Amino acid sequence: MQDRTLIKSVQARQIDSERGHPGVEVTVTTRNGAVGVAVATAGVSVGVHEVQFAYDGGSRYNGKGVMVAVRNVEEIIAPAIIGMDATRQTEVDDAIIALDPTPNKAKLGGNATAATSAAVLKAGAAALGIPLYQHIGGINAVTLPVPGIICLVGSDRYGGGGSESGGKPSHALMCYGYDTFSEAHYAAWHLSRTYAKLMQERFGVSARYGHYSVPPGTVSHDKELWDVMVEAIERDGQTGRIGIQVDVAAGTYYEKDKDRYVGLFCPGDKTRDELIELYQWMAANYPFVIMEDPLDEVDYEGHAILTAKLPHVETVGDDLYTTNPERLQMGIDHKSTDAILLKVNQIGTISESFNVVRMAYRAGMGVMPCDSRGEGEAIADYSVGLGTGHLREGALSRVGNRFLAIEKELGSRAHFAGIQGLKIER
C-alpha cells in the first residue's frame, strides 16, 4: 500500500540519561509498523547560542525535568505530523518548524523538536527496510570514519572556569593510521588497556566508564598527562598512527572582565596571544591532531589566527557554531576553523542540521559528529551516511559495535577514511 510509510503515532516520555539529568525520548510508528526511537538531552558544555530546551523548573530533577517538552511533543507536534510521510524528512521538519516561529525553539523546546525529528528519520529508514546510514546517504554511504577513545576528562585542577562546565578540557586518542575500521577498533581497544595501566601506575587513578580524571594537585601542568598519552602510544608501537584530540571548551575558562583565560592547562591567567603560543608549542611537541573550541565561543578572529598557525592540526568549532548556519557563515567568512562539530539538537531538527553539514562541505570544511546529546549508536549511521570521515570518540562500546556491523554489511564496498578523514595538511 502506498500509505505504508505514513506516520501513525508519535509518543514521548521522560527518561534518565547518561548525563545525569532527564532526556526526551520520542517514538514514531508508521502505518506498516516500522518504529523509530530517538533521544535528546543536554550536553556538558552548552553554547550560549544553542536552541533553548524546554524544562519544567521547580525542585524536581533540579529544575531539569522535561515533562513540559514531552507534552509539547504529544499535544502540539504529534497532531501536526501524524499522517505525513516519514520518508519525506524535510516536509515533516518544515511542519515542526512552523509550529514554533521563535529563532531558538523557545516555544516548543529544542529537545522536543530534535527528538521528534530524529525519531522520524529512523522511522523512515525502518519503513523502507534500509539501514539508517543508507537512508541518509544513499549508495555513496560507504566510508567509515576515524574514531577515537576518550582518555581524560578534565577537572578543576588550576582554579579555572572549567569546573562549571563539568570539567574541561577532555581528551581522546584518534586512531587514523589504519586500513580498516576493524583495525582502528582493535588498536583503540589495545591502547585503552595500555593507557589504563599507565594511569594507574603514574597517578593511582582508575577509569570510571572509561573516563579518567586526576584530582586537583596531582599535576602542575597538563603536559604531564600528555606525556602519559604519548607513552601509551609508543608502548603500543602506534606512533604516527594515533594522535591526540582535545575538546578545550575554552569559553568556560574565559573571564570577560579580565579578558583572560584562567587556569586553562596550567595555573595562571593567559591572554589570547599567550594561549595561541601555548597551542603552537603543544602542536610542536605532542601529536595533537584535533583542537576543539580552543578559544572563546565568540572569537572568530582569534580562531582564524590560530587555524592559520596550525596547518597540521584540525581546529573544530562546537560552541563557536552550535550547528547554526548564521554562525557557521561567520566562521566561513573569517576562515575561523577547519571543521564544525555536528550536534543535531543544537539547531533543533535533522533537516536544519544536515543543511549546516552541506554548507560546511561547500566551504571546504570538515564535519565531526558527536553523540553527547543522546544520539547513541545512531551517531555511527550519521557519520557514514554523511561521509564525515571522523567523529568524536566512537571506537569502542555501542557506537564502535555499530560501526563494525556497518563495515560487515558493506563488505568489500567499505572504505576507511584514515588520515584523509582529518582536515589537516599532510
Question: Does residue 344 register a pLDDT over 90?
Answer: no
What pLDDT was estimated at residue 163?
Answer: 44
Provide the CA 396 distance to its chain's centre, in angstroms: 15
- Cβ neighbours around 183 below 10 Å, total: 15
- 426, exposed or middle or buried, with CB in 10 Å at 0-12, 13-18, 19+? exposed
What pLDDT was estimated at residue 165?
Answer: 39
What pLDDT was estimated at residue 208?
Answer: 60
Mean pLDDT of 313-342: 96
Mean pLDDT of 307-326: 95
Torsion of CA 133, 136, 139, 142, to 10 degrees: -40
Question: Are the CB atoms for 389 and 417 separated by under 8 Å?
Answer: yes
Provide CB contacts within 8 A for 59, sequence distance 6+: none
Give the ranges where 148-294 is alpha helix by DSSP (H).
Answer: 181-203, 223-235, 272-285
Mean pLDDT of 365-375: 90
What cell was used for 354? 544536515
Backbone angles phi, psi at 83, to 5 degrees: 95, -10
C-alpha span between 226 and 198 (Å, rounded): 12
Question: Does residue 345 register a pLDDT over 90?
Answer: no
Question: Are the CB atoms for 336 and 320 separated by under 8 Å?
Answer: yes
199-255 per-position pLDDT tens digit: 999 988 886 655 678 888 888 999 999 999 999 999 999 999 999 999 999 999 999
**What is the CA angle 217-318-196, rounded to 5?**
40
409-421 per-position pLDDT tens digit: 999 999 999 999 9
Provide CB contacts within 8 A for 88, sequence distance 6+: 124
| Mean model confidence pLDDT for the chain | 93
Provide CB contacts within 8 A for 301, sequence distance 6+: 334, 336
CA atoms within 13 A on the CB side of 193: 6
CA distances from 325 to 150, 329, 331, 360 (A): 29, 6, 10, 9
119-177 per-position pLDDT tens digit: 999 999 999 999 999 999 999 999 999 999 999 986 566 766 554 434 578 999 999 99
What pLDDT was estimated at residue 155?
Answer: 59
What pLDDT was estimated at residue 281?
Answer: 98
Among 278-292, 324-338, 368-382, the range scoring the smallest mean pLDDT is 368-382
Question: Are the CB atoms for 116 and 94 separated by under 8 Å?
Answer: no
C-alpha span between 380 and 406 (Å, rounded): 8
Question: Are the CB atoms for 369 and 118 separated by under 8 Å?
Answer: no
- The secondary element (H helix, E strand) that includes residue 390 is strand 390-394
User: Three-state DSSP class for 343?
Assistant: coil
How long, in residues, is the chain? 426
Provide the CA 37 distance to its chain's centre, in angstroms: 19
Question: Does residue 352 register a pLDDT over 80?
Answer: yes
Mean pLDDT of 85-110: 95
Share of the chain above pLDDT 90, in %: 82
Among 149-158, 329-338, 391-400, the range scoring the smallest mean pLDDT is 149-158
What pLDDT was estimated at residue 396?
Answer: 95
What pLDDT was estimated at residue 158?
Answer: 76
What cell was used for 157? 585542577
Beta bridge partners, 381, equal none
- The secondary element (H helix, E strand) that includes residue 7 is strand 7-15
Residue 96 pLDDT class (50, 70, 90 cuts): very high
Share of the chain above pLDDT 70, in %: 94
Question: Does residue 360 register a pLDDT over 50?
Answer: yes
For cell 525529528, name the residue: 117
- 57, exposed or middle or buried, with CB in 10 Å at 0-12, 13-18, 19+? exposed
